[in-house]
Amino acid sequence: MQPIDLAIVGGTGVYALAQLVDVEAHQPVTPYGPPSGPVRIGAFAGKRVAFLARHGEGHSLPPHRINYRANLAALKALGAQRVLALNTVGGITAQCGPRALVLPDQLIDYTWGRMSTLC
């Protein structure tokens, strides 16, 4: 299998990579279940690139239902060498609006109820 130079995991608002050409959809089976949706592999700027919508195509999965382990295992099974994951987060107050750079002094961890490793 030809290696994938870069795999991109799109976050909220990024559900496709329009610049990909010659795109093929893959739905690999993983030991952790299915990924969030099809992995789309194509060419971009002469490189082989994969794209996966973290929340599924059409934003069908809320954050607590995303199978992160299956997503990473699917990208690895398809030959991804590197992964770039795009993320966004909402502000808790109006003072933390768009383009605000904030350094939190408290953290709410919503990841405590899921597996935290691929091992």
- Over the stretch 13-52, which tens digit does the pLDDT of each residue have? 788 888 899 999 999 989 999 999 999 999 999 999 999 9
Q: What local confidence, expressed as pLDDT, does residue 85 receive?
A: 92
Tokens of 62: 């809320």
- Strand, coil or helix: what is 62? coil
Angstrom CA distances, 72 to 25, 45, 49, 92, 93, stand at 16, 23, 15, 29, 33
Give the strand pairing for 39-44 and 21-26: antiparallel
pLDDT in tens, 58-94: 889 988 889 999 999 999 999 999 999 987 776 667 8
Q: What local confidence, expressed as pLDDT, does residue 119 receive?
A: 57
- Tell which residue, 17, 11, 34, has the closest CA to residue 90: 11
Under 8 Å between Cβ of 74 and 36 = no
